[in-house]
Structure 1
Amino acid sequence: MVKEPEFKRSEIKNRKNQVAKPRKHKYFTALIFVIVVLLGTFFLYLGHIYRDAQKMTTKIYSSSNITKARDTQSLLKAGKPISILLMGTDTGAVGRNFKGRTDTMIVLTLNPQKNKMTIVSLPRDALVAVTGYKKYYPSKLNSAYDYGGSGTTIKTVQNYLNIPIDFYATINMGGLENMVNAVGGITVKPLLTFSYGGHSFVKNKTTKMNGSTALAYVRMRHSDPLGDYGRQQRQRQVLTKVAQNGTKLKSLMTERFFKEIKKQLKTDITFNDMLLLALKYRGTTRNMTSDHLQGEADLISGISFESVPATEKQRITNLIRSSLNLESATTGNTLLNSSSINTTEK
């Protein structure tokens, strides 16, 4: 009878290891392959999104054709506070994009050092002398865009409040409906109870809004006890929500979002600027403060204006300059010949 050879326990263990190694290696190789494929697919997708974003930015870019009060590139690279003038055209809803007067005007500041965003609405009927068009004085602030476009509006706002405007963005407010839909809708607590455009709102009742609902919410003016100032509050509220939802990666990485941005926005923020904004300023949306410049009704030659007291203008100038980490300075005056903007940092 032939006996099987006897092995020491250590030899048996070693032999088991020798047999198991090729199988582990095969599993490990398969796992690496799967990871590589998944990462490759992910980066290809990111590359696709990157290219789409680059193309979209090229299409929405429109120079203001003015010399800025500050070196915007240095500000972005250093991650310093910046300002953006947001303008909503009042004609987009009927198909005439980016023409006419600005129905909405907001000075937005982003301070990454404090992780804070400040939103200040300006009355569209504010009494001003439009820079470069003083012969038309008295004028309304919202006529600056109609007279000379984004560059003229930037200069006028700068001179009006003695603040630097680093960038601008003009949004087709008629297209706000599609913008809200593109970020998946927004959730808002209405500031008052009213019905408009087939939609009803209840004060302080949390409401999920799609684009059509949000547009109705911001367009109503005559039934608001605060008039245009009430509408400004609602506009700030909705734009803030859109900004919050728009910073979510899942909202940005959609073809629909790119298509809507391309149709509804014009800005002098370049693609590289946007990359820096995404990298260094994204946290500012976590802490938002909103305010508005309060005027008083004034009738001049049968035309209604909003005359803003010097003390109120100074208050808003102080607020915006502080949010930009700039030294205090006297508020502006559009009737003065000097167009020098104080940009001294603290």
Structure 2
Amino acid sequence: MPEDNNEIVKNNQHHHHHHRRRRGWVLFWSILGVLVAIAVIFAGVAWHNLSVTTSDMYSTSGANAKRNARQVLKQGKPVSILLMGTDTGALGRTDRGRTDTLMLMTLNPQKKTTTIVSVPRDMKVNLPGYAAYSPAKINAAYTYGGVKETINTMQKEFDVPIDYYVLVNMKGLEKAINRVGGIDVTSPLTFSFEGSSFKRGQTYHLNGEQALRFSRMRHEDPNGDYGRQQRQRLIIAALLKKSVSYKTLLNRSFLDTLSDSSQTDLSMKDMLTLARKYSSARENVKQDHVEGNNDDEGGVSFQSVSSDERQRVTNLIQESLQN
């Protein structure tokens, strides 16, 4: 492996919770790409703009396929999508970066349910394609082997199929929120971070920069990174709600921001299928997370996930993928 990549991962794995502040506040606003497609299809507007956008975003993963994803969509069966957020683009970075946020989402049109499971970025894993660099944090999978290694690692750790993925880099989040005129969120706790203050139970209208501050803080959260994940999901929901509108769909600059900052193996045809067969899955949203314990090994701070917890998450995902 090239020396510079070794250094990247070395820095990644030796980061401790109390060392330098990490810019790992990436939010999966790009999932709105799928839901925006649904709105566009039903509304019959901005079709050309969205077609160009989704074409620019498309990229296959190269990961090991556990099943035929196209057939799953065609038959309208429950489908899984891995949502990945990278810190690429932060502070002028041009390297591949890390997946500082991972969420596995399943859409079940029969049960009319969407299930979202957050995975801690410091989860201790063995990378299937890079055994020599294991154990490693799960966010190092992207640094070593990109989307392919991340998907393969997730499938190995939880023994569930990942049909599609959506990847977004943090550089576009602030722009996306600003493009829709800001978002409204209610803070679940009282805290201050980088000049912004929030009070529990109070609703705020946030621009892109403020939304990043709201979602980044974790050291002062009594639930640590898990609390941060909760605030990330609040931002996701707010952006989804704000983005699905005629004004946004007709906004070429917003769609350009989407394509410049996102990557997915969902084609326009796949999105059309999702629109026709999976819209009912939005009626109920279940949220969960993988729970780990602090594990310091060789000076590296991991989140160690027990076999029982892994099995619990596996059962949850497998159940959500049943008709």
Structure 2 contact 141–153 (Cα < 8 Å) conserved: yes
1:303 corresponds, among 284, 300, 303, to: 300
- The runs of 5 or more residues in structure 1 that have no matched partner are 1-45, 326-345
SS of the residue corresponding to residue 230 of structure 1 reads helix
Q: 3-state DSSP class of the match of 1:99? A: coil
Query: Which residue of 1 is the match for residue 309 of structure 2?
Result: 312
Q: 1:96 to 1:53 in 2, by over 3 A?
A: farther
Q: What TM-score comes out, normalization by structure 2 length? A: 0.81
Distance (Å, rounded) in 2 between the aligned partners of 1:76 and 1:70: 11
1:89·1:97 contact (CA, 8 Å) conserved in 2?
Answer: no
Which residue is equivalent to 1:76?
73
1:217 maps to 2:207: no
* Cα displacement string for residues 144-185 of structure 1 (whole angstroms, at most 9, x for unaligned residues): 001100011001000100111011111112321122233443
**Using the alignment, how far apart are the partners of 1:49 and 1:192 within structure 2?**
39
Distance, in Å, in 2 between the alignment partners of 1:237 and 1:287 is 15
Q: Deviations over 1:26-66 (max 9, x none)?
A: xxxxxxxxxxxxxxxxxxxx888222211111111111123
Task: State the shift of 1:323 in Å.
Answer: 1.0
Contact map agreement 2:72 2:79 (CA 8 A) in 1:
yes
- One-letter code aligned to 1:156: T
Equivalent in the alignment of 2:19: none
Contact residue 247 and residue 282 of structure 1 kept, 8 A: no
- Which stretch has the larger CA shift, 282-291 or 112-121? 282-291
Percent identity, please: 47
Superposed CA deviations along residues 122-149 of structure 1, whole A, max 9, x for unmatched, are: 0111110011111111111000001100
Instruction: State the distance in 1 between where 2:285 and 2:86 align.
Output: 24
2:260 counterpart of 1:263: yes
Residue 189 of structure 1 is matched in structure 2 by 186
Distance 1:252 1:284 in 2: 22
* SS in structure 1 at match of 2:160: coil
Structure 1 contact 107–119 (Cα < 8 Å) conserved: yes
Q: 2:157 aligns with which of 156, 160, 176?
A: 160
How many pairs align?
A: 282
Q: Which has the higher contact order (CA 8 A, sep 6+)?
A: 2
Q: TM-score, normalised by structure 1?
A: 0.76
Would you say the 8 A contact 1:184–1:251 is kept in 2? Answer: no
In 2, Cα distance between the equivalents of 1:286 and 1:242? 17
Describe the SS at the equivalent of 1:169. strand
Q: Which has the larger radius of gyration?
A: 1
In the alignment, residue 116 of structure 1 is paired with which amino acid?
A: T
What amino acid is aligned across from residue 64 of structure 1 in structure 2? S
Question: Residue 231 of structure 2 aligns to which amino acid in structure 1?
Answer: R
Q: Does 1:130 align with 2:96?
A: no
Aligned to 1:114, the other structure's residue is in SS state coil
Match of 2:114 among 114, 117, 127: 117
Q: Work out whether 1:243 is the aligned partner of 2:240.
A: yes
- SS of the residue corresponding to residue 289 of structure 1 reads strand
For structure 2, list consecutive stretches of 5 or more residues without a partner in the other structure.
1-42
Task: Give the Cα–Cα distance (whole angstroms) in 1 for the partners of residues 259 and 229 of structure 2.
Answer: 25
Distance 2:73 2:247 in 1: 25
Distance in 1 (alpha carbons) for counterparts of 2:90 and 2:141:
20
Partner deviation per Cα, 1:289-343 (whole Å, 9 max, x = no partner): 1111010000111111110111111111111111111xxxxxxxxxxxxxxxxxx
Q: Identify if the C-alpha distance between structure 1 residues 287 and 312 changes in structure 2 by more than 3 Å, giving closer, same or farther.
A: same
Provide the C-alpha distance between the structure 2 equivalents of 1:47 and 1:107, rounded to a whole number of angstroms.
30
- 1:171: which partner in 2? 168
Distance 1:279 1:181 in 2: 30
Structure-2 change in CA distance of 1:280 and 1:250 (3 Å): farther
